[in-house]
Each structure stands twice: as C-alpha cells, then as structure tokens.
Amino acid sequence: MPIVDAASLPTDPYINRELSMLEFNYRVLDQAAISDTPILERLRFLCISCTNLDEFFEVRVAALKQRLEIGAPTQGPDKLAPQQLFDELRRRALILVDQQYEMLNAVIFPELAKEHIFFPKREDWTANQKHWLTAFFHDEIVPVLTPLTLDPSRPFPKILNKSLNFIVRLDGKDAFGRRRHRAIVQAPRSLPRIIRLPEHLSEPGCSNFVFLSSIIHAHVDDLFPQMQVDGCYQFRVTRNSNLYVDNEEVEDLIHALEGQLAASRYGAAVRLEISHRCPQDLCDFLLDHFSLDQADLFTVDGPVNLNRLVAVCDMAERPELCYPAFTPGLPRSLKTDASLFTVLNNRNILLQHPYQSFAPVIEFIATAATDPDVLAIKQTLYRTGADSPIVEHLVRAATAGKEVTAIIELMARFDEAANISLANRLQEAGAHVIYGLVGYKTHAKMSLVVRREQGKMRRYVHLGTGNYHPGTARVYTDYSYFSSSQKLGEDVHKIFMQLTSLTAAVDLDRILTAPFLLFDEMIMRIDREIAYAEAGIDARIIAKINALTAPRIIDALYRASAAGVQIDLIVRGICSLRPGVPGLSENIRVRSIVGRFLEHSRIFYFLNDGKEEFFCSSADWMDRNFFRRTETCFPIRQRPLKDRLKADLELFLADNCQAWELRQDGTYEKLSPGSDAPKSAQDSFLNKLATLSKSST
C-alpha cells in the first residue's frame, strides 16, 4: 500500500487528480503480488505499472513542471499549489518505483526461477554463455553502436525519449594523445532489449534471458581500446510528450501534427532514471546537462527500461504460466447463417467484450463493404491499431465505389503517427477523411451503414464504449450496441453531419452528445434523483466510469448525497470525489475494480422513481469529455438488455476479490471476502458469458 502522510492531505472536498492517478498505479502493481495469478501475468502487471508511470511523467508531470517554470497559480478544485503537488507526487512516485524494483528482484525473479525461467547476472554466466554472448556482441551489437567520447567537437548527443543509454567513465588517452573522461553509448532502437540464450546454453527445460544492458556492460571495454573504463552506468531520460497545436493559427492539422511528433521525441526532460550504482558526480553531470534538479532523479536497482520485460511473457513460450485462454461467446441470434442486417431487423444486440466476441463489430463493416445494397458507411476512428481490419474493410468499400466517410482523431495521445498513416491510406482509396475538429477531440465510437432495402433507405448503427481495436477488445471491457432503430440511426446521421459540415445536430431523439447536451442532461438526472429523495421516494444513482474529475458533477453528487440519494460509483482510475465524509458524501461509495481485464466500459443508471434509465457512453465524467470532446451517450431501452446491465452492475458492486474501496483520504483499501463467499465480477463474466449459447440478445 502507498504511504500517505495525513498531514500533507488537503482538507477540501476534492482529491487531486494526479495523486489519484498515482494511486491507480499502486493498485495495478498490487496485481503483481497476487500469488494465485500466473507468474507471467504478474510480470505483465509489473510492466503495465511502469508503462503507466512513464506516461504519467511524459504528460502530467511534464505539464506540472511547465506550470512551475512560468510561475502559474494554483489551479484545479483541490487548491494544491503546484510546488506542493510536485513535492507530493515525487515522494509517492519514489515509493512506487522502489516497490516496483523490490517486486522484480524479491518476488518476480525468484518466482520465475521456480518455473525454470532465469535472468543470469554477468558474474553467473557460464563459459559457454560468455563465449556466445561475446560473439553476439561483436556480430549483432557492435555494428550498430556509435560510442561517443565527449569533447568540444563531439558534444553530448541527442537522447531520444525513454531510450536506453550508458554513461561511461574513462581514464587514459585517446588515439590522438588527449585525455578523456566521459563517453556516451546509445543503444539503438533496432536492438532487442532482452535476448533469449539458445537452448544448448541452458539446462534442459530451462530458459535463460539476458538484458541487452548486461551484454553492453560486460563488453564496454571493447568499445574503448587502449583506454581504461572505470565505470559504465545505464540511464534513461523521460521527456515531455505533450503535443501542442494552436487552434487559431494552424492551417493544416496533419502537417502541424507531424512536425510536433518529430519534436516530441526530444521534448524537455522531466525525469532521469539511472543505475543506483552510478556515482553522484556522474548523476550531477547528467542532471546538469538535461537541466534537471535532484528532485527529478530516480535511482533504480535493475534495468532502467523495466517495462521492456513484458516481451518475456511471449518469448518464454509458456502458456501454462499465463491466464487460461478462453473463447469469447456469441449470443444465439448471431450463431446463424443469416446476415447481420437481417438479424438487426428483428432485434437489437448488446455485446460485452472481451467475454463476447468483437468479431461481429468487424463483420458489421466487412459485410457492409461487400453488400451491393449498401450505399454508404460512416465511421469514427480514435484508436484502431496500425493494421486495423476495420480500416481494411473501409478501404475495400471505398475502392468498390461506396461512399465512405471516416472521422479520424489525429490527436489520440500516443496513437498520432498510426492515425496519420491510416488517414493517408483511406484517402488514397477514395474515402472522405475528416481529421476531427481542432480543439474538440472526436472520442465518440460509432458506425453508420446506409442500405437500400425494398426501394427505401435504412440505417444500421453500431455504438460502443470502446475503440475499434481488435487487440484492446481482448483485454478491455466494453459494450457494443447494434441497432436498426430508425430514430437512433437518424441521431447518428445528424452527429456525423455535425462532424463533417459543422452544422448543429438539433432535435436528437435518443443520443446525448458532448460538448452540447451531455453535461446538462447528467445534471438534470442527478437533480431529478435529488427531487425524488426530498419527496421521500427511493432514489439511486450508479455510474461505472474510468475517471471522475468534473467539479460540477462532483458537487451535484454531493448535493444528492445530502438529500439522501444512494450513490454507487465504480471508478477504475482517477476519482476526485471524497466519499463517506459526514455531512458531505456519507451516501456515496466509490470502488475500483482491477483485474485481468482493464475496466473500460461506461454505464450510467438512474432509478427515476422506478422507471429505470440505463445509458452506455464513450464519455467519462471529466470536464474534457463534457466540454472539449465529441462524445455519445446512448440509452439502452429494451427490458432484457436493461436487466442484463443491471445484473452486470450488481456483480461489480458485489465484488470482494478484485475491488478496492476509496477512503476519505484518497487512498484505497483492498476488499477481501473474509467469511463471505468470494465474488469476482470478471471471473463471473468469464464463467457465464464466454460460453453463453442460450441468450437471444
């Protein structure tokens, strides 16, 4: 558990979002400590916590440091001063990093060794292993290395964001008779960070892995002949990866973004990670070069690029040490030879990924691409992956002469380059490509197919809480909703028209959209529950979301709590609301579910005096989702589907195995069954939905 200094906590009603984000990483890291979890999955959770922390520094800490540099005033509802926040973030991040490396060295490596997976240290290499690694170094590594001795004609090289590097202390004279003191060795991106030794160099049934950093360490002397190497220490620099596009000045978004992507690889340094064995004078030298302070230094007992260990999960080729594979289920209505369009003419379909297959989502676009009666396909794309089958089918449809419109969000963080490539492919195929709207990310997940049937146009829609990405659909929990409802189809058509022509989407019948309707509609529904509670009528709100930071939504929930509304919030990550505070939020409970799958779905429930309302949404309850993004929030109105969603929410609220409860001070307490029967929502869904064959919805 993270260590929290109670004296440093704010006394106001809001939890700082950055501190809450760090708390989530503690919960992820805890998954690596669960002995019942397969060991390679425990390693994966450790790596995820490290990747999350990288992004945290690249984005959140980078922005905070910029505020500190310009002397920006306190911002955010929690009123934490920038310097106070930075100090607290650093203190907690240091604890988290120490726990990550303690987990690696004291838990993960020993447990892997029990399964005959080893990471031998240099001093433990056998003679045969040393011989092979020396040959590997000279044959595979040296040809792409460029060691650089530092002097006035060879200044410090550019260091790529999060790349593996070494600072080398030298003694002696170079070939020109000049005394040298320091050198930099950069590990090219083309080199694997982990090398698996050949089977003949390992005991039968054993796998041995060696870090690239260890190989370079062992042979660094060969890079500086006739000079003495007095020390070699790996380091890594994390840089500001925020992209800035001037909404008023930019004329060509794709060209502006391409320029920003190139520059972001060498943005301002925000963190220096270095071996804990590195002498202080070399640490100071690097800090000075990168314009960093001692507070930005993180010394580590292990590889600085810890998240690269995730490759071992596949390289080990030990499926029995991973989660058991499962086959996603399909509702009975889709297990026929009938066209998906025929099925949708008879019923709406709600799928829950990954327990139910993502294949129907791909099939929806694939069928539309080849169906001669389909005239047009419209699609939003936020994160799809570089080799997206959805994009392949859209390309095929456009090439076949169908009217294809793709709204591609170029500013999807860390997916910008892939989205630019996808946009270019679609344009070359003849599709209409729109790059979203500068200043308003297109975060909605929706597809629209227009089909001619019996001389009339009919619309089919898919709406989702997650991205059109088959890979993430296997590890993210999300909902997919298919419908041929003409009112829903008309709404989706109007939203696409708004995105392409910038005209107002007026008189929507079913869908609540951001940035125009969603916030007011959520406030209205919270106020309605307040009115019921004040009238002595049972009132309840349940929301399953990824993040809750919007101050006015939090204030409305506080008012609802004071009125007696029972509120359950299932918030995976950031939560700025303080639950259980007398006189403020004693009727609010907040829990976070962290397990095998990343909880990504958004569900909103309002009791509404017994006329229950259920919504699924692409939006979290954050100001950015309400006011700076295009989002969709769509109702689930059919009773069987509403019953399913209610049962799903009840499973999440009953979870006592993978649930954490948020406390007033902003920390989380992990729940345990105790004397109760163990209940895991994710395990229940796997058991119930993965093999489901009787459902008709």
pLDDT at 239 over 50: yes
Give residue 593's pLDDT.
98
Q: Name, in order, each residue with C-beta under 8 angstroms of 673's C-beta and a sequence gap of 6 or more.
A: 656, 657, 679
Q: pLDDT (tens digit, 9 = 90+) per residue, 602-631?
A: 999 999 999 999 999 999 999 999 999 999
pTM: 0.91
Across 243-250, average pLDDT: 50
Q: From the candidates 443, 462, 469, 600, which is the catalytic residue?
A: 443
Tokens standing for residue 626:
């309400």
Alpha carbons within 13 angstroms on the beta-carbon side of residue 235 total 30
CA distances (Å), origin 310, targets 83, 157, 191, 266? 34, 28, 16, 25
Top pLDDT among 693 and 670 is at 670
pLDDT score, position 72:
78
Does the pLDDT at position 212 exceed 90? yes
At residue 691 the predicted structure's pLDDT band, cuts being 50, 70 and 90, is low
Residues in a beta bridge with 632: 513
Predicted confidence (pLDDT) per residue in 4-21, tens digit: 343 443 458 999 999 999
Strand partners, 543: 569, 604
The torsion angle over the Cα atoms of residues 8, 13, 16 and 22, rounded to 10 degrees, is 80
In contact, 697 and 636? CB cutoff 8 Å: no
Q: Which is more confident, 617 or 455?
A: 617
Of 566, 580, 574, 582, nearest to 653 by C-alpha is: 566
Report the amino acid identity of residue 559. R
- Its sign, for the CA torsion 622, 626, 627, 630, is positive
In SS3 terms, 44-73 reads as HHHHHHHHHHHHHHHHHHHHHHHHHHHCCC
Give CA 79 to chain center in angstroms. 27
CA separation for the pair 265, 246 (Å, rounded): 19
Looking at residue 418, its amino acid is: A
Helix (H) or strand (E) run with residue 365 in it: helix 359-370
- Counting Cα atoms < 13 Å in the Cβ hemisphere of 641 gives 22
Report how far apart, in Å, the C-alpha atoms of 84 and of each of 53, 64, 300 are: 20, 11, 24
**Cβ(523)–Cβ(552) below 8 Å:** yes
**How crowded is residue 462: how many other Cβ atoms within 10 Å of its Cβ?**
24
- Model confidence over 72-113: pLDDT tens digits? 777 778 878 899 999 999 999 999 999 999 999 999 999 999
Strands, E, within 359-445: which ranges? 374-381, 403-408, 432-434, 441-442
Percent of the chain past pLDDT 90, that is, above it, reads: 77
Q: Residue 426 pLDDT more than 70?
A: yes
pLDDT band at 436 (very low <50, low <70, confident <90, very high): confident
At 338 the pLDDT is 87
| Across 400-422, average pLDDT | 80
Amino acid at 465: T
Q: Are 568 and 592 in contact (CB under 8 A)?
A: no
Most confident option among 150-159, 216-225, 601-610: 601-610
pLDDT tens digits, residue range 329-388? 998 889 888 889 999 999 999 999 999 999 999 999 999 999 999 999 999 998 887 788
CA atoms within 13 A on the CB side of 622: 22
Taking residues 34-47, what's their average pLDDT?
A: 97
Does the structure show a pLDDT above 50 at 3? no
Q: Which residue has the tokens 């600072």?
A: 167
pLDDT attached to residue 502 = 86
Domains of the chain by range and CATH? Answer: 1-114 (1.20.58.310), 120-323 (3.30.1840.10), 332-508 (3.30.870.10), 514-689 (3.30.870.10)
- The helix or strand, by DSSP H or E, that contains position 604, with its residue range, turns out to be strand 603-606
Average pLDDT for residues 276-289, to the nearest whole number?
A: 96
What kind and span of H or E run contains 643?
helix 639-654
Residue 273: what are its φ and ψ, rounded to 5°? Answer: -105, 135
| Arithmetic mean of pLDDT, 153-167 | 90
**Would you say residue 692 has pLDDT above 80?**
no
Beta strands in 421-539 (DSSP E): 432-434, 441-442, 446-453, 456-464, 476-483, 512-514
pLDDT band, residue 164 (cuts 50/70/90):
very high
Asked if residue 464 has pLDDT above 80, the reply is: yes
Q: Is the pLDDT of residue 210 over 80?
A: yes
> CA–CA separation, 328 vs 693, rounded Å?
11
Active site residue 255: no
pLDDT tier at 438, thresholds 50, 70, 90 = confident
The pLDDT score that the predictor gives to residue 1 is 40
Q: What is the average pLDDT score of the chain?
A: 90
pLDDT greater than 80 at residue 418: no
CA-only gyration radius of the chain, Å: 27
Identify whether 515 is preceded by a cis peptide bond (ω within 30 of 0): yes
Amino acid (1-letter code) at residue 693: S
Straight-line distance from the first to the last Cα atom of the chain, in angstroms, rounded to the nearest whole number: 42
Q: Residue 12: what pLDDT?
A: 82
Query: 252 burial class (0-12, 13-18, 19+ CB within 10 angstroms)?
Result: exposed
- pLDDT surpasses 90 at 255: no
